[in-house]
Structure 1
Amino acid sequence: MATNITWHGNVTHEERVQITQKKGATIWLTGLSASGKSTVACALETYLLKLGFPAYRLDGDNVRFGLNKDLGFSEKDRNENIRRISEVAKLFADGCIIALTSFISPYKKDRDAARKLHQDAELPFVEVFVDVPIEVAEKRDPKGLYKKARQGIIKNFTGIDDPYESPEHPEIHLHTDKQSVEECVETILDYLKNRKIIG
């Protein structure tokens, strides 16, 4: 635990919003591997940027090349992975950037902690459940991970030998086996417009 530290800041969030004329938020996409989280997040990020809204995608694989390269996939490491991402996403949101996080984030308590972190800072947190039957996810399996998990090559794989705790009350519930990527993006954009996060 760090001691003898003091938070330093000279520009408040309200002042940032006034200066930039933009609002930050965290769009938290959660779901099984191969559910379509990253695909939807990539499309949404591109769309927001084209509309002139600062957006940045934090992807489950990408952050393990740097920020979280010291973490494995045990429950403890998954908890720490999500804790770090929650803090980074909150900083982006505070900086009037829309953070798009695409992480399996299988445990409800970790997602609840991410939400509370944002709520305490009075920053928007939008949980998006990217839902798909596991049979469909396994059929997609673009990285071959389900196959390796079934063979016992990969341990602690969500949906196979580790649980996925589905969100009970997400702000947005997508079904990527029934909706196109464009329809998913439009659903999220409509929510952001209705909440006046984007104009």
Structure 2
Amino acid sequence: MIGPESCDCGVTVLLTGLPSAGKTTVAFLVAGRLRDAGHRVEVLDGDVMRKTLSAGLGFGRADRHENLQRIGVMAEVLARNGVIVLVPVVAPYADSRDAVRQRHTASGTAFLEVHVATPVEVCAQRDVKGLYARQRAGELTGLTGVDDPYQAPEKPDLVIPTVRQSADASASLLMDLLVRKRFVA
């Protein structure tokens, strides 16, 4: 799976956190750096996957689980074939994330879990998609971290505290992890 030197190995990097935490921003910054360095990389953005691979799924617990499993299968296949796969998704439930990790482990494919740890108050201020405003107005229920649970990872491979640093600094933390784990030089 991972050799002693920097390898051309694939890996799935699951970036989990609340809506508007900065997951997608960090993923695309890292993807750009990796492409510039000549690596094969894909970003499986949760919002895009919801409109395509998981079209028709809702936001109840079972549908959220199914959504992540579908994305996890695609990520595992890509990573198993040497692609660095960045997956910015809310993924609020620990058991759903664990199932994706177990799928990777079973196939001998590398998997990293990154918690983009941004307080809900900061996410609500950013409110990139207007979800928090819609929830406050009573137009939306089941918003992760507000009126639906978010189970933060207990032992992530990395915690990115986006509230205390720039997006570039957050991307650098993830790049450093990929170097330490020898996925990139």
TM range, smaller chain = over 0.9
CA distance in 2 between counterparts of 1:170 and 1:127 reads 5
Cα distance per residue 1:34-83 (max 9 Å; x no partner) = 00000000101111001001000001110122111121111111010001
Could you tell me whether the CA contact under 8 Å between 1:54 and 1:97 is conserved in 2?
A: yes
Task: Quote the offset at 1:154 in angstroms.
Answer: 1.2
Could you tell me whether the CA contact under 8 Å between 1:31 and 1:131 is conserved in 2?
A: yes
Aligned to 2:125: 139
CA distance in 1 between counterparts of 2:102 and 2:113 reads 12
CA distance in 2 between counterparts of 1:161 and 1:85 reads 24
CA distance in 2 between counterparts of 1:85 and 1:64 reads 9
How high is the TM-score relative to the length of structure 1? 0.88
Aligned to 2:89: 103
2:3 paired with 1:24: no
2:174 paired with 1:188: yes
Aligned to 1:155: 141
Task: Quote the offset at 1:97 in angstroms.
Answer: 0.3
Query: Which stretch of the first structure deviates more once superposed, 185-194 or 91-100?
Result: 185-194
Aligned to 1:83: 69
2:76 paired with 1:123: no
Aligned positions of 1:12-51 closer than 5 A: 22-51=8-37
Task: Quote the offset at 1:196 in angstroms.
Answer: 1.1
CA distance in 1 between counterparts of 2:51 and 2:60 reads 17
Q: Select the structure with the greater relative contact order (CA < 8 A; seq sep ≥ 6).
A: 2
Could you tell me whether the CA contact under 8 Å between 1:54 and 1:98 is conserved in 2?
A: yes
How high is the TM-score relative to the length of structure 2? 0.94
Aligned to 1:173: 159
Could you tell me whether the CA contact under 8 Å between 1:150 and 1:160 is conserved in 2?
A: no
Unaligned runs of 5+ in 2: none
1:26 counterpart letter in structure 2: T
Aligned to 1:112: 98
Task: Quote the offset at 1:152 in angstroms.
Answer: 2.1
Q: How many residue pairs get matched?
A: 182
Task: Quote the offset at 1:167 in angstroms.
Answer: 0.5
CA distance in 2 between counterparts of 1:129 and 1:85 reads 17
Unaligned runs of 5+ in 1: 1-12
SS in structure 2 opposite 1:35?
coil
SS in structure 2 opposite 1:177?
helix
Aligned to 1:55: 41
Moved segments of 4+, more than 6 Å: none
